[in-house]
Amino acid sequence: MTSLDILLVDDHPVVREGYRRLLERQPGYRVVAEADDAAAAYRAYKAARPDVVVMDLSLPGASGVEAVRHIRQWDRGARVLVFTMHQGATFAMKAFEAGALGYVTKSSAPTELVRAVGEVARGRRAMSEDVARELAVDRLEKPAAALNELGPRETEVLRLVASGMTTERIAALLNLSAKTVQNYHYAIKSKVGAETDAQLVWLALATGLVSAETAEEQGAAEI
């Protein structure tokens, strides 16, 4: 990307300033708006239409999760990266279910935030390693047993879904119709007891079918 417009959402002005300086050191990265609560984030998003939102979860009033949900309801194409102190699987799960595309903890290295912003801007999933581990352990007590329920083609479809590929891309890669891929997708969820694609990602991570790095590399095939 030659240019990238970013909305920063955090209730601490000093913290936002630090993020701004870090991100704007990257060629083409530009912070076009800032917000300190969920309502302001929604208004700022509608006004600025940024490429990526960097969203904290701990906001005064409505939480960052609510802000993510509200923005995604208005624009299903919104790309939101949660950047927060909360490492727990429950927080990450709620953020992904609300529509976030990435989740990075503030204990991560600064370069991790920069990397994740770039990945989310390209429509790829991004998670810091600590979050990926928390999700895998928390959500699936017997991930290997769940994977054993799948046939070879279902396992491959799961790997590609967890890597961030679209139905159309998977269909082209496996020489299948989009409808067939959708049927596999539904069957996989049914067999492993998953309700969301986020849970499929956790399963793939827990079983080693994909790693956080592999997911990003595989997602690059869509670009």
pTM exceeds 0.85: no
What proportion of the chain, given as a percentage, has pLDDT over 70? 88
Report pLDDT digits (tens) over 194-212: 777 877 887 887 777 776 5
| Fold topology of 4-133 | Rossmann fold (3.40.50)
Mean pLDDT confidence for 119-127:
89
Report pLDDT for 129.
79
Q: How confident is the model at residue 139 (pLDDT cuts 50, 70, 90)?
A: low
Report pLDDT digits (tens) over 156-186: 999 888 888 889 999 999 999 999 999 999 9
Report pLDDT for 220.
39
User: Right CATH number for 140-222 from 1.10.1060.10, 1.10.10.10, 1.10.357.10, 1.10.287.3510?
Assistant: 1.10.10.10
> How far, CA to CA in Å, does 176 sit from each of 156, 181, 184?
13, 7, 11
> Which residue ranges make up each domain of the chain?
4-133, 140-222
Q: Strands 126-127 and 102-105, how do they pair? A: parallel
For the chain, give the mean pLDDT.
85
Report pLDDT for 223.
32
Q: Which two tokens stand for residue 190?
A: 């049914």
pLDDT at residue 55 tops 70: yes
Report pLDDT for 97.
85
pLDDT at residue 215 tops 60: no
pLDDT at residue 40 tops 60: yes
Distance CA(211)–CA(166), nearest Å, equals: 18
Report pLDDT for 26.
92
Give the highest mean pLDDT range of 125-129, 134-138, 145-149: 125-129
* 64 Cβ contact list (under 8 Å, min separation 6): 9, 38, 55, 56, 57, 58, 82, 84, 95
pLDDT at residue 8 tops 90: yes
Q: How confident is the model at residue 144 (pLDDT cuts 50, 70, 90)?
A: low
Sheet holding 102-105, edge to edge: 29-35, 4-9, 52-55, 80-84, 102-105, 126-127
